[in-house]
Structure 1
Amino acid sequence: MTKTILVIGTFDTKADELAYLIGRIKSQGGQVLAMDVSVLGEARMPVEVSKHDVAGAVGETIEGLIALGEEGEAFARMSAGAALLTRRLHDAGRFDGMIALGGTMGTDLALDCAQALPIGVPKYIVSTVAGSPLIAAERMAADVQFILWAGGLYGLNPLCKSSLSQAAGAVLGAAEAVEPPSFDRPMIGMTSLGSSCLKYMKRLHPELTRRGYDIAVFHTTGMGGMAFERLAADGLFACVMDFSLQELVNMLNGSLVSAGADRLTGAGRSGTPQLVAPGAADILDLAGWQSIPARFQDRPFHEHNRLIKSVGFNAEERRAMARAMADRLATAKGPTHFFLPKGGIEEWDRPGEAAHDPEGLAAFSDEAERAMTGRIGMTALDCHINDAAFCDAVLAKLDEWVAAGLVAPGRGPA
């Protein structure tokens, strides 16, 4: 079956590059739906969706946008129109995958278009700033793919063609090969920092599968939490088990290893039932190349690898983290329950391990018990988060919620 790719770009300034990309897609048997998001210039090749269509989708005219006299504001409105049309065109069955080209302006717009599409639709952005810290985690669609546009700022050249030809193959191949999620069984979204630091998923996964659920586990190193929050906010999960809050404490303490400012709010906004625990919230993870903030210079330090390093929190900082968690959970629209493992919250805080800090853990536990009030249910456990007793308590609460009709029951084995 022939697949159609939505190609988004400024067909005035980047017409040569877009024409090359379109040619490579068509040479492999694909079809193209072209969307022009230019403002000042005219498209230098035929397009199916004109810049006037894009502006008109949000009640604007190109002439009105030019009259603003501000490029950034004009392009922000074009972004809104492009995202709206992208979703409409997909809902109408007009394309099977999306690809967009750009520098900072084009990437900004492409991020909105990617977010407008459901998970499972191939989304590729060829960008001169791919992988840059300029791109905030909360701007990214859960399954977006980036390709660095080497030598692509202006004009075609052998480097640029290499990036674009690979991008053409990537998006068309993805559209042909993708198995969109079916969601035949209720899905539980779970977070974890890894299988050595946090081990509960090894016990919970088979038990949840036996109960008839699919389980998606997200790695909480920034991008994983971003995807988790996005999907939780969309109501994709029957229940979430958000047991690794490391990204939240990172964000609140200036680390780039962050899932964005919305961490620990997505399930609450959608009313999704959530089971929460403070896994790995006792350490601050930093990018391997990031300078350690001055106030953490005297803390215990661990270099995990060349990508990530960690320092510890003191007792007062851990109290602040407990309050921050409670504040976010207090706004939840759906059932919310917090598990407090008083024996430890990650593998390296056990007695004899490098992160063992009884005073800090006691301070966190004390503050959590004070702060988790109102609609937030709480269970204090005399065990470690990696102990079987923690998993037993979680499963008991899930079973209770299923029996009460708060969580959809599983639908049999896969």
Structure 2
Amino acid sequence: MRNTPTFVYIATTADTKGQELEYVRARIANLCLTPLTLDLSTSGIPTHYKTDISAIEIARYHPQGEQAVFCPNRGQAIAAMAIAFERFMLSRNDVAALLGLGGSGGTAIITPAMQQLPIGLPKLMVSSMAAGDVSGYVGSSDIAMLYSVTDIAGLNRISRKVLSNAANQIAGAIRFHIDDDADSLPATGLTMFGVTTPCIKAITSAIEAEWDCLVFHATGSGGRAMEKLIDSHLLNAVLDLTTTEVCDYLFDGVLACNEDRFGAIARTGIPCVMSCGALDMINFGHPKTVPARHANRHFYNHNTQVTLMRTTVAENDHMGRWIGNKLNACAGEVRFVIPLGGVSALDAPGQPFWDPGALNAFVHALEQTLVQTEKRRLIKTPYHINDPCFANVVIEQFHAITAMAK
């Protein structure tokens, strides 16, 4: 994107939402901003609402051309237009903001493109789907979802208020944009869970004078958000110490990462200190939501809505091999620091999840799988993850590898 982007992009399916598009376009123009209207219709039926960029122009960005979009199957057409729109938006260098208007189909078309835009660039989706689970639409991006209240099917006393608010929100985001400080500190991402908080707080306190510390809650979306920033080259280093999302991914918990976890670290070669924080637990919701097949497992009720299940020796062996293979793809400076005294507040002598055999299984599998090199090293410590001595080892390794990267 350019330093002085020009247009407020307004995207919708003009064949069904042209009236709303015209209304928002006028509101944006009245706010002394320059609108650029985009038609994402897949019907192939001409509309009398003129847009700056037609549906045909956007559809041509699909790898198979516009015929992939304008097909008889509506579901296929929506999926194809989403691909075309994503590629179209990635080709632009004049975007000040992206404002989307849609129902279920329009939201499915517009938000994948929004997810590909840089963090910080204003993106607002006005949608009739915004009152439900929006995680699939937002992903790991900073998309704002605004519930349309009424369906986006013509103007009325409610939709005018909502659409006016949307235009005002976009204008405010543009006018009050905060530029990155050229003299700001380099940024590092840290992953944290409640059960690893003392560790992360100690490390943050020790390095925050020299580093801008961005802490991500390791809930699946937190890891994805951090890795999006890594791929966008918005982080200079990583302290990925709470890798618990792997437990949920491999063993069907509710706070899972995806198959690409650690992929951004491998792709960019970013300096990274890692650990096995909270690999002792798989997350579920209320106890009644735990699958029946786990009835005989060891549980801990974290609160009324979060139930933790202790990982077994076999599961830790699996995770050691899975993480080891992921690390083998990393060519940058990587240090994996192991706290042999326990990986979470619950995994300590006298605590509910204390199980040295499980951790030993993880360590053994990781050692057997990881191909250590001068840049890729495994470091074992006798400390618990929340012991200040463990934090000191991590800080020492972090300073060493980030100094090499300068």
> Normalization by structure 2: what TM-score?
0.87
- Which stretch of structure 1 is more off in the superposition, 365-374 or 156-165? 156-165
Asked if residue 79 in structure 1 is aligned to residue 82 in structure 2, the reply is: yes
In the alignment, which residue of structure 2 is the partner of 1:225?
Answer: 223
* 1:178 CA drift (Å): 2.6
In the alignment, which residue of structure 1 is the partner of 2:297?
Answer: 299
| 2:241 match: secondary structure | strand
* CA separation of 1:240 and 1:63: change in aligned 2, threshold 3 A: closer
Asked if residue 102 in structure 1 is aligned to residue 102 in structure 2, the reply is: yes
* Paired residue type of 2:363: S
Say whether the 8 Å CA contact 1:25–1:32 is kept in structure 2: yes
In the alignment, which residue of structure 2 is the partner of 1:10?
Answer: 13
Structure 1: gaps of 5 or more residues: 409-414
In the alignment, which residue of structure 1 is the partner of 2:50?
Answer: 46
CA distance in 1, matches of 2:347, 2:130: 36
CA offsets 1:362-410 (integer angstroms, 9 cap, x no match): 332333333333344100010011111212111222232244x3x23xx
* 1:42 CA drift (Å): 2.5
Say whether the 8 Å CA contact 1:247–1:257 is kept in structure 2: yes
* CA separation of 1:45 and 1:247: change in aligned 2, threshold 3 A: same
CA offsets 1:242-289 (integer angstroms, 9 cap, x no match): 011111211211123223332222111222122110111110112448
> Normalization by structure 1: what TM-score?
0.86
In the alignment, which residue of structure 2 is the partner of 1:143?
Answer: 142
| 2:276 match: secondary structure | strand
* Paired residue type of 1:53: E
CA distance in 2, matches of 1:267, 1:51: 37
CA distance in 2, matches of 1:290, 1:165: 43
Say whether the 8 Å CA contact 2:37–2:51 is kept in structure 1: yes
* CA separation of 1:61 and 1:255: change in aligned 2, threshold 3 A: same
* Paired residue type of 1:349: D
In the alignment, which residue of structure 2 is the partner of 1:391?
Answer: 391
Q: How many residues align?
A: 399
| 1:120 match: secondary structure | coil
* CA separation of 1:233 and 1:289: change in aligned 2, threshold 3 A: farther
CA distance in 1, matches of 2:157, 2:250: 44
CA distance in 1, matches of 2:160, 2:280: 47
* 1:128 CA drift (Å): 3.2
In the alignment, which residue of structure 2 is the partner of 1:369?
Answer: 367
Identity %: 26
CA distance in 2, matches of 1:28, 1:288: 47
* CA separation of 1:286 and 1:76: change in aligned 2, threshold 3 A: same
* 1:222 CA drift (Å): 2.3
In the alignment, which residue of structure 2 is the partner of 1:70?
Answer: 73
In the alignment, which residue of structure 2 is the partner of 1:128?
Answer: 128
CA offsets 1:8-52 (integer angstroms, 9 cap, x no match): 110111223333433444455544211111122334422211112
| 2:15 match: secondary structure | coil
* CA separation of 1:387 and 1:15: change in aligned 2, threshold 3 A: same
Alignment of 1:395-414 (within 5 A): 395-403=395-403, 405=404, 407-408=405-406
In the alignment, which residue of structure 2 is the partner of 1:411?
Answer: none
* CA separation of 1:311 and 1:64: change in aligned 2, threshold 3 A: closer
In the alignment, which residue of structure 1 is the partner of 2:353?
Answer: 355
In the alignment, which residue of structure 2 is the partner of 1:19?
Answer: 22
CA distance in 2, matches of 1:75, 1:280: 40
* Paired residue type of 1:108: A
CA distance in 2, matches of 1:278, 1:383: 13
Say whether the 8 Å CA contact 2:237–2:402 is kept in structure 1: no
* Paired residue type of 2:192: S
CA offsets 1:51-77 (integer angstroms, 9 cap, x no match): 1221233476646642x4333333333
Extract structure 1 runs of 4+ deviating beyond 6 A.
none
Alignment partner of 1:333 out of 325, 331, 338: 331
CA distance in 2, matches of 1:123, 1:289: 37
CA distance in 2, matches of 1:32, 1:179: 21
CA offsets 1:207-235 (integer angstroms, 9 cap, x no match): 2233x222211111122112112112233
| 1:348 match: secondary structure | coil
| 1:35 match: secondary structure | strand
* 1:193 CA drift (Å): 1.4
In the alignment, which residue of structure 2 is the partner of 1:412?
Answer: none
CA offsets 1:93-126 (integer angstroms, 9 cap, x no match): 3x42111122333222222221332121011122
Say whether the 8 Å CA contact 2:196–2:385 is kept in structure 1: no
